Amino acid sequence: MKINDTWITLNSLRLRGRHGVLEQERTVGGDFVVSVSLRVFTDDAALLRDDLEGTVNYADVYHTVKETFDIPSQLLEHVARRMAEALLARFPRIATVRLTIEKVAPPMQADCRSAAFTLEAER
């Protein structure tokens, strides 16, 4: 069997954060949903020997995402870039980061469930 790519995905992480252009958003905070997909260099340690050393621990990925997310920003673009940089810096096995940050019920005059920004970055 030939394996082309391996991905780790954390779907729909529900987080509370202080991100937004309006001061009220950064003071009170709001609800967000973050999804992260990582193309990883997975080796035989994980694929054949069932050893975590051959891949990326998704619990550690979550902690990196959360630490980065907890720093307030005005723009989701800024949060996403910091998050991608932190993941690539901490985990040498990550080749590509694709992440989406959704702001639930954004403060605007529209019937809108969420507003989102998606970023893809690679090593």
Which residues are annotated as catalytic?
A: 103
Q: How many CB atoms lie within 10 A of CB 96?
A: 16
Residue spans of alpha helices (H) in the chain: 23-28, 44-47, 58-69, 76-90
Q: How many CB atoms lie within 10 A of CB 121?
A: 16
Q: Report the C-alpha gap between 36 and 84 in whole angstroms.
A: 9
Residue of 42, 53, 41, 117 lying closest to 83 (CA atoms): 117
